[in-house]
Amino acid sequence: SGKIKHELVLGTEKELKEHYEVMKKNPEMEHDEPSMVTLASGKTGEIVWQFTKAGKVDFACLQPGHYDAGMKGAVTVAKAARK
């Protein structure tokens, strides 16, 4: 039911902030990389990602205004259980 474009981008907080500055200047930029997906309003999509090490992985919507509005978060990846 959305009316505006969104995206999901995985990366470090530093990478996301740098890319967000680029997106503010080029808001029509779309992404075609495994760690990014851009969606038209009302559409769905997915990123299939295999986390290879423990730690924090940040994500955000980098459409202009969205990051500043709080469309960001992090995934905490736990160490793999020993077998």
Look at residue 3 in the predicted model and tell me its pLDDT: 86
Inter-residue contact 64 to 24 (CB < 8 Å): yes
Where do the DSSP E strands lie in 2-80?
Answer: 6-11, 36-39, 55-60, 72-77
pLDDT band at 75 (very low <50, low <70, confident <90, very high): very high
Query: From the centroid of its chain, how far is CA 47?
Result: 10
Residue 58, C-beta contacts closer than 8 angstroms, at least 6 positions apart: 10, 11, 12, 13, 16, 72, 73, 74
Q: For 35-70, what is each residue's pLDDT tens digit?
A: 999 888 988 889 999 999 999 999 999 999 999 999
